[in-house]
A and B are shown apart, each in its own frame.
Chain A
């Protein structure tokens, strides 16, 4: 048994370390000895070599999602891709219609961009998911209108890891000539994606969620049928005018390498990670009053979002110095807002405040999972001994029937 490195990183949905094989490739595109050229330089070998590297990476990114390399536009990351897709499409098709449909559990990069469209005069429908986090397709269908130009639904939710049925949504939108944007930052490299079969028009991709570097992402823009966008960043006309700015060759090479590795290793890796995730859940669910948030069946292998009833999430994280996880409770403002995602599932605020997100990845070991279970068990026990809510629960008090002085 090897020594355990503490703290244990279980926040792979937030970001991942760059795979050493990816970092090795990136190193070769930075210094004088390497290929540091500007891919837009047409007049010399430095530029040509860099361009070749960029094209290679474009091919790897396209391959992972079943796209043509010409359908990939580089961006600075998931947030920019979401912005370009949503604003770009809404602006370009303004005359066709001004209605956009999305879901309440989308990432802020989608929700906040939609808010901006509302300020610009668009109308946005925010659908509530079902209690398991999945979208009710009939509800989506009835939200579509003649003036709907765009539907934006994330493939995998960043907090609860549930997988939306993009294929079914794509069928619905393509039939009606409505564009479908899918934020796939949390699904690429984790579950199979085929943009053609799923009939997706726009797809957001990010590198740092799958062992590539931060600061680089891509947007898939469908060519058949041809999707047009209004550029959001203007300048030298890079990326066919859709996204100006000098291409960061080393970042792009990193994203390409990360996507190539994901393509090669995804199937095997997903099985291993699923095994670890299930092991973690078996361990944690031995405790009383522990609930999983979101569908366990329609879920990416590496995600586990759990509520430990009667224990507040931030204090739990504080007790878990040796584990890096995220909490659904943000006790950092006067309003003490719990996770809007868990709220949208209809989880009561107590359970939302009591949630932790574990995300397991490439470098997680069985030993780390077992140690995590031990640490969580003792922390939850300690905090429940401190919790007046746990005491009331033990006494048989119905907490929902208590009249709390909401402050």
Chain B
């Protein structure tokens, strides 16, 4: 199938590939999808004390559109607050990458990934041992 220019660009030059320490309290990890379905996305965000995403990394097993969706997502969430990042919709990703209808599920997976990463980060902050981080989150929220 033919791919759009932006998909090809992200596929050939994926941004922010990599991994962070998932046990780090400042790191939120979202792993979505399943090998059986042909795509698995891992998105990680590092959140500072102001609730702003300082860094994002991804690794994706999947087709070119899945790789491009997650690569684009890491660019978009950097510098955003958790709230802003949580507002990213799959339709925004699909539109930006000009995904054809059969690839829309790739953008859905990317939206699921950022939500899962945020939920993971927030879950860590709610643990009693990490009260300071929770407090800082409350300030920004």
Binding site for B on A (CB under 8 A): 310-312, 314-315, 318, 329, 331-334, 336, 338, 348-350, 353, 385-391, 399, 404-407
Contacts and interface: CB of A to CB of B under 8 A. Distances in A.
A315 B106 CA distance: 13
Q: How large is the interface on B (under 10, 10 to 19, 20 to 34, 35 or more residues)?
A: 20 to 34
B93 to A, nearest CB: 16
A331 B17 contact: no
Nearest to B41: A388
B60 to A, nearest CB: 6
B114 interface: no
Nearest to A399: B35
Contacts of A334: 102, 105
B67 A406 contact: no
Interface of B: 1, 3, 11, 14, 17, 19, 31-42, 59-64, 66-67, 102, 105, 108-109, 112
Given A332-B1, A334-B105, A404-B40, A387 B63 contact: no
A404 B3 contact: no
A311 B40 CA distance: 11
A386 B16 CA distance: 10
B131 to A, nearest CB: 30
B109 A407 contact: yes
A311 B64 CA distance: 11
Contacts of B35: 348-350, 353, 389, 399, 404
17 contacts: A310-B61, A318-B3, A332-B102, A334-B105, A348-B35, A349-B37, A350-B36, A386-B59, A387-B61, A388-B59, A389-B35, A389-B61, A390-B61, A391-B19, A404-B33, A405-B32, A407-B105
B110 to A, nearest CB: 12
B38 A336 contact: yes
3 closest cross-chain pairs (CB), A and B: A404-B34, A349-B36, A388-B42
A331 B62 contact: yes
B54 to A, nearest CB: 21
B31 A388 contact: yes
A391 B20 CA distance: 12
B60 A387 contact: yes
A315 B62 contact: yes
A386 B62 CA distance: 10
Given A315-B63, A350-B36, A406-B36, 7 more contacts: A312-B38, A315-B64, A353-B35, A386-B60, A389-B40, A389-B61, A405-B33
A388 B61 contact: yes
Nearest to B65: A331
Contact of A388 (B37, B60, B102, B108): B60
A388 B31 CA distance: 9
Contacts of B66: 312, 315, 331
Contacts of B19: 391
Contact of B39 (A311, A312, A332, A348): A312
Contacts of A353: 35-36, 38
Q: Which residue among B35, B41, B105 has the maximum number of chain A CB atoms within 10 Å of its CB?
A: B35
B11 to A, nearest CB: 6
A387 B18 CA distance: 10
A340 to B, nearest CB: 14
A314 B17 contact: no
A311 to B, nearest CB: 7
Contacts of A399: 35
Contacts of A318: 3, 11, 63-64
Contacts of A386: 14, 17, 59-61, 67
Contacts of B40: 388-389, 404
Nearest to A349: B36
B17 to A, nearest CB: 6
A332 B1 CA distance: 9
Contacts of A315: 11, 62-64, 66-67
A353 B66 CA distance: 14
A331 B109 CA distance: 14
Contacts of B34: 404-407
Given A315-B67, A386-B67, A391 B37 contact: no
Contacts of B36: 348-350, 353, 404, 406
Contacts of A389: 35, 40, 61
B38 A329 contact: yes
Given A350-B36, A406-B37, A331 B59 contact: no
Contacts of A338: 38
A310 B40 CA distance: 10
A158 B118 CA distance: 46
Contacts of A390: 61
A405 B32 CA distance: 7
